[in-house]
Chain A
Amino acid sequence: MIASFLGARARLTPARLSVVLLACAAGCVLITLLSPLVGAGLPGQGLEVMSPAAIWGDDLDATIYWQVRLPRALAALLCGAALAGAGCAFQAVLRNPLAEPFTLGVSSGASLAAVLAIRLGAGTYLGGAGVGAAAVAGAVGAVVLVWRLARVGDALPPATLILAGVTVSMFCSAASLAVQYTSSFADVSRMLRWMMGGLEWTTYASVLRAAPAIALGALVLLASGRALNAMAAGPEAAASVGVDAGRTQTLAFAAASLLVGASIAVAGPVGFVGLIVPHALRALVGPDHRVLVPASMLCGAALVVACDTLARMLGQWPVGIITALGGGPFFLLLLVRGKRHADLWRS
C-alpha cells in the first residue's frame, strides 16, 4: 500500500508530492541542525559530541555550534542542493543520465580560473572571495564556450554538447596543470587545496552571498518541471505537445550553471553529487521532475551536510574527497547494474 503510494511508478498526486517532500525536508533540516553537534574536539581529545542543550548556553560549545559549525552546515546544505538540482537539469535537457556539472567542463573551467587567480595573487589581495569569484567566472565562461561550440542552429544536440564539454574540460585541465607546473610550491599547495573542495572557512557572509543565486536557479528549475518531463522524449516530441524546447533548454542550462557557479564559489569543486543523487532519487520517487527536482535538492543538501560532518570527524578533510570516495563506488555500482539491465536508469 505504502509502496504503491510512494513508489517510483505511482502517479504524482498532491498527497504523494507532499509526503515525499515533507519527508525529505524533515530529514534535511534534522541533519543540518544535528550535524554541528558532532566534530573533532581539541587536539588530542578525539571525536566530540555536544549535548543539544549546550547550543542554548553561552559557553564555548554554543559559540562553536552557532559561529563555526552551523554556517558550515548551511553552506554544505546550499552546495548539495545546488549540485543535485543542476545534475537533474543537465540530465533532463541532455536526456543523458550521465550528464552532470563536471561532465560539461564547468568544474574544469572553474578550476582553471581559480588556479590562475591564485597564481596572480588574487587570494593574497582579496582572500577566498577573490578566488571564489574567479571560479564562478571560469564556470560561466566554460558553460558559455561549451554552449556556443555545441549549438547547431536553435538546437542543442546532447552528443555535441557532451563532446564539447569533454573537450573544454580536457583543455582546461591541461591548462591548469601548466599553470601549476610553473607556480611556486606554496601556490601549488593552495591550488591543490582549493581543487579538493572544502567548507572549512565558511562564514554566514559567504552563505548569504551564494543563497540568492541558488534560490533563483532553484525557482527556475521548479517552475520547469512539466517541460523537463516532456523533454525526456527529445525536443521534437516535447514541441509536439506544446513545449518551447529551445527556451526550456536555455532556461534549464542557465539555471543549472548559476547553481553550479554559486556552489563552486562557496565550496570549490565537489564532485559526484549531481550525478548520484538524481540517479538514486529517480529510482525511489520516479522520473517526474515536479518531484524529482525538489526531492533531489533536499536529499543532495542532506548528503553534502552528512559528508561534511564525516569530513570534520576525520579531522577537517575536504568534503570533495568524501563525496568522490563515496560517489565513485556508487557510480561503479550503477555501471554494473546498467550493464545487467542494458541501460543506466532501470531500477
Chain B
Amino acid sequence: MLALTDVGCGYGAVPVLDGVSLAVTAGELVAVVGPNGAGKTTLARVIGGLLPARRGQVRVDGRDPATTPRRELARTLAYLPQRYELAFPFTALEIVLMGRYAHRAGPGLERAPDLAAAEAAMTRCDVAPLADRRFDTLSGGERRRVLVAQALCQGARLLLLDEPTAGLDPAHAIAVMAALAAERDRGAAAVVVTHDLDLAARAADRVVVLERGRVVADAPPAEAFAAPAVARAFGCALCVGELPGGGRYLVAR
C-alpha cells in the first residue's frame, strides 16, 4: 500500500529527510513519532505528494504520489495536514463533505451516498451533533475531530493523518484511534504522525521513530520504544508496560 525506498528531501538547501525507507501494508496501523524537527510532517507531505522526493522512490498503491492526478490519489490516500486554516465560515458538515470531492467530477451537489458517508464518519468521530455549527466556532479538539471525519469520509484505503489527536481530550483521542483501528480491521492502512507517545504505544501495530530525518526504529511499540537510539533521540528512557486488563501504556523516565 505504501513503500518508501531511500527517500531524501528538504526545503531549499536544508535537508530534512535522509535515506528514509518504510513499508506499510493493508491492515496495519503505524505511528510515526520523533522529537520536534525530526521530519515527521515533511515525511507526511512527501507521502501525500505535496513535496517531491529529491532522491529515492515513493509509492502509494504502486504509483508516485507526486505525479498522480490529485483526484485519483485522493481516492486511494486520505491525507489530513497538520495545519488547517479556513478562510470562510463553512459548517462542520460542509467541511466533512469536502472529503467527497474526489468521488465525483463536476460542480453538482452531494448525493445520498455522500451524505451517508459523511453522517457515518461524523458519528464515528462523535461530531454528528456539531453538523450545523460553523467550523470556526468549534473548539480546537472539535475541529480536529471534524477533520478526522473528513478524512474517514473520503473512503480511501490509506489514511495518512498528521497529528489527528492534537488538542483532543483523552477520551476523544482514544476514540479517534479506535476509529482508525476499525478502518485497519476493515483492511485499510493507517499512518498516524503524532507527538502522543502513549497513544502510539497503546494503539499502533508498529512505531516508526524518526530522528534528524532518519529512521532509528521501526518495530512493534514495546520493541521500538526500548531501543537505545530512541532513548537518545527523545533524551529520556521510554518504557512500555502491559495493563492488567489488556492494552499498553508508556511512561518516560
Contacts and interface: CB of A to CB of B under 8 A. Distances in A.
A242 B90 CA distance: 18
A167 interface: no
Contact of B70 (A233, A242, A286): A242
Given A14-B109, A230-B98, A241-B154, A345 B74 contact: no
B177 to A, nearest CB: 20
A78 B85 CA distance: 34
B87 A97 contact: yes
Contact of A232 (B50, B78, B88): B88
B86 A233 contact: yes
Interface string A87-101: 000001001110000
Interface string A222-253: 11111101101110110111111100000000
A12 B109 contact: yes
Interface stretch (B20-28, B100-108, B192-200): B100-108
Interface in B66-84: 69-71, 73-75, 78-81, 83-84
Contacts of A241: 74, 98-99, 101-102, 150, 154
Interface range on chain B: under 10, 10 to 19, 20 to 34, or 35 or more? 35 or more
Nearest to B88: A287
A239 B50 contact: yes
Question: DSSP majority for the A interface?
Answer: loop
B19 to A, nearest CB: 25
A287 B69 CA distance: 27
Interface in B48-76: 48-50, 69-71, 73-75
Contacts of B83: 234, 236
A95 B88 CA distance: 8
A234 B69 CA distance: 18
A237 B70 CA distance: 12
Interface residues of A, number: 39
Nearest to A222: B107
Contact of B78 (A92, A229, A240, A282): A240
- B79, B98, B154, most chain A CB atoms within 10 A: B98
B94 A223 contact: no
A243 B91 contact: no
Contacts of A8: 89
Contacts of A239: 48-50, 70
A340 B154 CA distance: 37
Contacts of B109: 12-14, 17, 290
A223 B105 CA distance: 10
Contacts, number: 101
A246 to B, nearest CB: 9
Contact of B107 (A97, A225, A245, A286): A225
Nearest to A230: B98
B71 A244 contact: yes
B93 interface: yes
A299 to B, nearest CB: 17
B102 A282 contact: no
Interface in B105-140: 106-107, 109, 132, 134, 136
Given A241-B150, A242-B73, A96 B94 contact: no
Contacts of B87: 95-97, 232-234, 345
B107 A226 contact: yes
A145 B4 CA distance: 40
Nearest to A248: B70
Contacts of A222: 107
B237 to A, nearest CB: 36
A287 B150 contact: no
Contacts of A151: none
Contacts of B91: 9, 11
Contacts of A232: 86-88, 90
17 contacts: A9-B91, A11-B94, A11-B132, A14-B109, A95-B87, A95-B88, A97-B87, A226-B101, A239-B48, A241-B102, A241-B154, A242-B73, A242-B75, A286-B90, A287-B88, A287-B89, A345-B88
Interface of B: 45, 48-50, 69-71, 73-75, 78-81, 83-91, 93-95, 98-99, 101-102, 106-107, 109, 132, 134, 136, 150, 154
Given A241-B101, A286-B90, A288-B94, 5 more contacts: A95-B87, A229-B94, A233-B87, A241-B74, A287-B88
